[in-house]
Amino acid sequence: MSILYELRYPRRWSTKLFVTILVLVLSAVLATVAIAGFLVYRIVKPQRTSSEISMESFPGRPDAVEFSVPGIGARHGWFFPGLRGAPTIVLCHGYGSSRGELLTLVSALQDHQYAALREAEYDHRVRAIILDSVYDLPEQMVKIGVERTGLGGFPLMARSAEFSFNWLNYKYRANPPLSQKLSALAGVPKLFIEAADDPELGAITRQMFQSAPEPKDQAVIPHGNYVGLNDADKREYENRVVSYFLLKMPATGKAGR
């Protein structure tokens, strides 16, 4: 009882110092947890860029499509027709961006008449796949996202963010990493693209490439983030993507529409 009384009403200087340090530590921990929680919210609920683009006058005659994602609901996309019976290419925009930012890449693919990794591992219709800066686990996305804010250097910040993310997504805790099912893509051509200016994410992509079965190819580009590339780098990126699909999935069939 005397110890508890002394902690509650400190009289000795040593007790006062201990209580002060304890309060500071607890305050720092609470502040870290609060900031980490806010960062996780901003990462999993990003402010998406606008995709309000008029498709009526856009080249390529696209159609608006709606599809359902289990457990999430309706989602919207665009379908750009090519040759009837030719392979269909599914483009997934980067996290936090929008489909409108991929229109130039879509046009480059459609000029030659023409999916997410988790789905490709379970869908045998996939005949080729290109993976640009891919994560193996969602926790890696959270960790890198926190580091990009400049707050990753604070003690326990990244770990607190990962803990908050795992707590919010507890029901998905048993989901295996993407690399665990890569063997299902044996025989499917795969191109792994890593960006030299994003070494941590590039290292994860490189590990995925090394774990993947054949056939596989690797490409290292100077800069990541397709949306932010200059015109020359964007054209080079588009040419690389189009060339790979033309090589692995030749567009054959009758003209659509």
Provide the phi-psi class of 57: left if phi over 0, else alpha when psi is between -120 and 50, else beta.
Answer: alpha
Query: Which residue ranges form the domains of the chain, and what is each CATH number?
Result: 83-255 (3.40.50)
Looking up tokens 């996290």, which residue turns up? 95
- Tell me which residue of 87, 52, 106 sits closest to 226, measured CA to CA: 106
Reading the chain (257 residues) residue by residue, the pLDDT tens digits are 466 555 565 666 666 666 677 777 777 777 777 777 777 777 766 665 555 556 666 666 777 888 887 777 787 787 877 767 777 777 777 666 667 667 667 766 666 554 767 777 787 888 889 888 888 888 888 888 888 787 777 777 888 888 888 887 888 788 888 888 889 999 999 999 999 988 888 999 999 999 999 999 999 999 888 878 888 888 898 888 888 988 888 766 555 45
Q: Is 60 helix (H, G, I), strand (E, B) or coil?
A: coil
